[in-house]
Amino acid sequence: MERTLAILKPCAIERSLIGEVVKRIEQKGLIICGMKMMQLDEKILRAHYSHLVDKPFFPLLVESMMTSPVIVMVLKGIDAVEVFRNMTGSTNGRKAAPGTIRGDFSVSGQQNIVHASDSVENAEAEINRFFRPEEIFDYIPSGLYDLYAKDEI
């Protein structure tokens, strides 16, 4: 099964939305196989957002990502990257579709509640950036065949 990285950003922590977002992940059927709180620093953010370092908003983005701890999660499932990106919605919360996490909880282009990996390759690199191997638990939920048909696995 595919894996993806989710980050509940400081705006989600500050607004007490941890439960809301985790509830959606659980209800969808993505399998949470790693989860921890951590304080991000500039070094890890420069690597994580390396595609944005030249943008004018980069300093504000880094500052906002360090204002409180974040929750990082490894999510597992068939097509987990695409499934969680679709649940997350467009980058700008004002434009994100209702029903998505950003569409329902954000009115900002920056303070948009959650990070979601955008490709399988980036997901694996991001998981390795934020987690040590022993922090990821590769268990199979007992209800796996209530999530998926036998010929999907």
Tell me which residues are annotated as active site.
115
- List, in sequence order, the alpha helices (H) in 10-150: 10-14, 18-28, 42-48, 58-65, 80-88, 101-105, 120-130, 144-147
Q: Which is nearer to ligand IDP, 52 or 97 (CB)?
A: 52
- Using rule CB under 6 A, residue 124 touches ligand IDP: no
Select from 31-39, 104-112, 121-129, 145-153 the region that touches ligand IDP (CB under 6 A).
Answer: 104-112
Q: Which is nearer to ligand IDP, 39 or 91 (CB)?
A: 91
Distances (CA, A) of 11 to 59, 70, 115, 124, 147: 16, 9, 11, 25, 31
Give the CA-trace dihedral at 85, 57, 71, 137, to 10 degrees. Answer: 50
Asked if 119 is part of the footprint of ligand IDP (rule: CB under 6 A), the reply reads no
Look up residue 134 and give its amino acid.
Answer: E
| Residue 48 in the binding site for ligand IDP (CB under 6 A) | no
Q: Answer yes or no whether residue 61 interacts with ligand IDP by CB under 6 A.
A: yes
User: Which listed residue (71, 112, 123, 126) binds ligand IDP by CB under 6 A?
Assistant: 112
Q: Which stretch binds Mg ion (CB under 5 A): 14-22, 100-108, 117-125, 133-141?
A: 117-125
Instruction: Tell the burial category of 36 from Cβ atoms under 10 Å away from its Cβ (0-12, 13-18, 19+).
Output: middle
Give the range of 4-12, 59-67, 79-87, 116-124 binding Mg ion by CB under 5 A. 116-124
* CA quadruple 110, 114, 116, 122: dihedral sign: positive
Contacts to ligand IDP by CB under 6 A: 52, 57, 61, 91, 109-110, 112, 115, 118
